Amino acid sequence: MTVWHDTVGKWRRDHGAVWVDEPGYRPFLALLKHHDVFEVSREGYKWNNTARAVLGPDAQYDEMEASGMPLPASLVQLDGIKHRDHRQVTNDWFKPASVGKRQPRIDELAERYVDRMRELGGECDFAKDIAQPYTLRVIMDIYGVPEEDEPLMMDLTQGIFGAADPEFLGDAADPQARVFASVMNFIQYFNGMTEDRRACPQDDLASVIANGEINGCPLGDVERLWYYIIVATAGHDTTSFALSGGLEALLANPDQLAKLQANHELINNATEEFIRWTTPVRHFMRFATEDTVIAGEEVPAGGAVLLSYPSANRDEDVFVDPGRFDIERGDLEKLMSFGVGNHFCLGAQFARREIRTFLAKLLPQLTSIESVGDAQWAQSHFVSGVKHLPIRYEFA
């Protein structure tokens, strides 16, 4: 990521935004400044997300359409009133008070994974052994997906977010085939879940989605399916990358680790810095609803812009010395990792609580922790971060 930040940082300082015109992709304007990412995200009426909200080769979307597979229609792909109404279906579940009620369960799961570190005997791959399964369990727990189905959920998520990484390609011939197969498997799994929760609703998010209504009518089949998929996928890889990448940064900056160990009241601020530093969601696309000008560039109606969250989070006009990992940073209210406006991350409260809680459970028990090998990053231009983090540690 250092090379990426060096290159993109220079473009940001020199140009603010750059046009990208690569074979196989529609040309788009990459917005690199915090101010421009903020403006486009806030002015939802001027910009649409559409089914192509995630950057992909045109051929992939064309093939998806031709194959009859339902085009992506989760919250991040919906616009206007349709988006507002669909978000409303689960909104209450993600409000601070509702999320707060889940704190005892998050405590329990965080303790379970700190215990797991103990059981592993002083060495582990923190990303794979701890951060991934912990964040997955928290979301699946509120979802109502039983623990035995977690490996399937993890595999399908990696099939959608991480298809470009050879480690997550599985038996598929290419990344595109992997994405299609994952979506098809999700359809099968969640159709079964809908039947079950309609027959027998429970106190879980799956029941809310299965029985969700808009203006007295059930959610459409395609929208319901994509609702399941976004919540099942967006909720854990993102948070897991923030936790493992944040720990990697702490270990690379022993002064910061020492400060945090000396004062656990810094955990909340450190969590925000983890989320800024790692920025696990790399982009979303927006499409102009009318001819417009952004970052001094003309974008015609239908033209595309890419919101670069990692670049916005390193904008030197907004963050003091943005390339420094600093858990005492005082400018984190400008954090761009969760987006802004109508599509602001629904799960931000969960993500924050999961990371804070884990640190609060782990740090008081640790007497030492160090990295014992190179961290490895997942290859993806959409959701990415540290996928392997070998560490050694001692408990009190």
For residue 180, give the amino acid letter.
Answer: F
As measured in angstroms, the least distance from the Cβ of 349 to ligand HEM is 8
Q: What b/e readout covers 315-327, taking b as 16+ CB neighbours within 10 angstroms? A: beebbeebeebbb
Question: Residue 178 or 356: which CB sits closer to ligand HEM?
Answer: 356
Instruction: Establish if 247 lies at the interface with ligand HEM (CB under 6 A).
Output: no
Using the contact rule CB under 6 A, the part of the chain among 118-126, 236-244, 322-330, 388-396 near ligand HEM is: 236-244
**DSSP state letter for 305:** E
Among 209, 285, 345, 362, binds ligand HEM (CB under 6 A): 345
Question: Residue 83 or 393: which CB sits closer to ligand HEM?
Answer: 83
As measured in angstroms, the least distance from the Cβ of 223 to ligand HEM is 13
Using the contact rule CB under 6 A, the part of the chain among 98-106, 191-199, 229-237, 358-366 near ligand HEM is: 229-237
Instruction: Establish if 41 lies at the interface with ligand HEM (CB under 6 A).
Output: yes
**Does residue 36 contact residue 17 with C-beta atoms inside 8 Å?**
yes
Instruction: Establish if 275 lies at the interface with ligand HEM (CB under 6 A).
Output: yes
Instruction: Establish if 31 lies at the interface with ligand HEM (CB under 6 A).
Output: no
Q: Provide the β-strand partners of residue 377.
A: 386
Contacts of ligand HEM in 71-90 (CB under 6 A)? 75-76, 87
Among 89, 210, 231, 375, binds ligand HEM (CB under 6 A): 231
Question: Residue 161 or 393: which CB sits closer to ligand HEM?
Answer: 161
Instruction: Establish if 235 lies at the interface with ligand HEM (CB under 6 A).
Output: yes
As measured in angstroms, the least distance from the Cβ of 14 to ligand HEM is 25
Contacts of ligand HEM in 284-303 (CB under 6 A)? 284
By C-alpha distance, which of 347, 191, 193, 363 is closest to 264? 363
Question: Residue 186 or 350: which CB sits closer to ligand HEM?
Answer: 350
Q: Provide the β-strand partners of residue 307.
A: 31, 284
Instruction: Establish if 130 lies at the interface with ligand HEM (CB under 6 A).
Output: no
Instruction: Establish if 244 lies at the interface with ligand HEM (CB under 6 A).
Output: no
Compute the distance between CA of residue 186 and CA of residue 267 in angstroms, rounded to an integer: 36
Question: Residue 180 or 226: which CB sits closer to ligand HEM?
Answer: 226
As measured in angstroms, the least distance from the Cβ of 231 to ligand HEM is 5
Compute the distance between CA of residue 71 and CA of residue 77 in angstroms, rounded to an integer: 9
**Does residue 100 contact residue 254 with C-beta atoms inside 8 Å?**
no
Contacts of ligand HEM in 94-123 (CB under 6 A)? none
As measured in angstroms, the least distance from the Cβ of 65 to ligand HEM is 22
Using the contact rule CB under 6 A, the part of the chain among 6-14, 107-115, 278-286, 321-329 near ligand HEM is: 278-286
As measured in angstroms, the least distance from the Cβ of 120 to ligand HEM is 24
What DSSP string runs through 233-270?
Answer: HHTTHHHHHHHHHHHHHHHH-HHHHHHHHH-GGGHHHH
Q: Is 279 left (phi over 0), alpha (psi -120 to 50) or beta?
A: left
Instruction: Establish if 346 lies at the interface with ligand HEM (CB under 6 A).
Output: yes
Compute the distance between CA of residue 133 and CA of residue 385 in angstroms, rounded to an integer: 15
As measured in angstroms, the least distance from the Cβ of 394 to ligand HEM is 28
Sequence-separated (6 or more) residues with CB below 8 Å from residue 155: 170, 182
As measured in angstroms, the least distance from the Cβ of 26 to ligand HEM is 19
What's the sign of the alpha-carbon dihedral 32, 36, 38, 44?
Answer: negative
Question: Residue 256 or 313: which CB sits closer to ligand HEM?
Answer: 313
Among 242, 306, 332, 386, binds ligand HEM (CB under 6 A): 242
Question: Residue 219 or 393: which CB sits closer to ligand HEM?
Answer: 219
Give all strands (DSSP E) within the chain, no chain letters: 17-20, 28-31, 47-48, 123-125, 213-214, 217-218, 283-288, 292-294, 297-299, 304-308, 366-371, 376-377, 386-388, 390-395
Sequence-separated (6 or more) residues with CB below 8 Å from residue 141: 105, 109
Do the strands 28-31 and 304-308 form a parallel or antiparallel pair, or are they unpaired?
parallel
Binding footprint of ligand HEM on the chain (CB under 6 A)? 41, 75-76, 87, 139, 230-231, 234-235, 238-239, 242, 275, 280-281, 284, 309, 337-341, 343-347, 350-351
